[in-house]
Structure 1
Amino acid sequence: MAKCNAAINYGAKLLRQITCCVLLIGNELLSGRTRESNLHYIAEYLGAKGIRVAEARVIPDIHQRIADTVNEVRKKHDYIFTTGGIGPTHDDITAESIALAFDLPLVENETIANRIKTRTPRDSTLTNRLRMARVPQGASLIENLTGGPQGFYLENVYVMAGIPSVLRAMLPTIDIASCAPLHSCSLEVALGESHIARQLDEVQRQFPMLEVGSYPFVRDGQIGTSVVFRGTEIEQLSAAFDTTRQVLLRLGARPTSETFDWDTS
């Protein structure tokens, strides 16, 4: 079993990229009752489109906290994606909080309401289910063919379900701008970070448009470091990888693992 510790980033001066912030909303995440599983999927999906998840936060089900956070981050990033809090219960308050952030009234969307009425028996659950039809006035809908909660968006803020299967159905329906996809490659070496920190700092200076990160681990009692390179230019990534590999070999440390997310054959 590997133990991962804090990572070091060596200060890449990246080209202007499209960035996003992911807001994971829910007391159940903060309490540990629910295991968060959406961020990894979102980051991978967006990374393939060249969009970097520059920030992610887990925040509680508190109206003002959600509204204030949304207003803070939507000024800093191109896209904001929220997950959770759009179901039928009293503690599903994300729609209300987004309305608060934009200073808009919360209204019942006729399209969603009709869909719910068609699919739901007219019994005691209908009133609660119609809570899912409430969106901020003027919001556009995110397509959802699963029959679950309905997502929506305002400006650059996209509000999605917290249920992983529903979120994964929603995300591909959003019209997201793309740029050059992010690529990565990595190698592992049986040396601690302190033994290669100076060398990695030099590699970062040689390749300022790449992001060079080191991630220490302990595996079967052996201390090691995983070095990861990220960027949009495969040629530069390959050059940085080869440079680092040669540096490590001169230190007497042969990489124990090498990975690339592109075809190297």
Structure 2
Amino acid sequence: MTSAASPAYRRLSVEERRGQLLEAALGLFAHRAPEDVSLDDVAEAAGVSRPLVYRYFPGGKQQLYEAALRSSADALNRCFDEPAEGPPTERLGRVLDRYLAFVEGHDAGFSALLRGGSVVATSRTATIVDEVRRAAAEQIFLHLGARRPGGRLAMAVRTWIAAVEAASLIWLDEDGRPPAGELRAWMVDHLVALLAASAASDPETAGVVRRLLAQERPGGPAADLARRLLPLADEAARLL
């Protein structure tokens, strides 16, 4: 009886092999803190030898981690891409849905990254994280129609980004509670409320809020927030 022919072996190109190793590392870093991942773990996950990992990443785990972090940062930046069409709060909701899906899929790695507790954290890794934050802020300014924001508006948006990061970490610690949809709605409300509060003392932010509201629809997130806040506004009116 003739045995079935074995599949032909194909030697991977340099880029293909590097990509294979990076994908294996990403899978490990996504769910384990960087200090808990060894080169032996990466080699085993990729089905190769440890020396081969060193051949493609001669800087060892530090170089591999930075490459994995850069790949994750690029993927996270893609979460922020959203056409400038439709109500701004609904655009933001779609971005946050993608962002929270990314956070959930990279739980331990995401936590170690933002908390800065990893033994492999360096100035280079910090720079990569800051680039993601800047990219997120630039996308928000773009959708708010403020390409060159003043100090108050810039501070409000960056404060919100910091709050989103903190909420994401708490959400992971709480095993995904509240549900992602509730957290996303709260984050959208938070930005609208923060901008509205800043608008009370900053003309630029006031103009941004007016443009934002002009694009919202009656049944959308901004309208729903306004409806829920009206009773509180009536209570506050007694203080005037």
Q: Same fold (TM over 0.5)?
A: no
Q: Which has the higher contact order (CA 8 A, sep 6+)?
A: 1
TM-score range, shorter chain: under 0.3
TM-score, normalised relative to structure 2: 0.26
TM-score, normalised relative to structure 1: 0.24
Q: Kindly indicate which of the two structures has a greater share of residues assigned to helix.
A: 2
Q: Kindly indicate which of the two structures has a greater share of residues assigned to strand.
A: 1
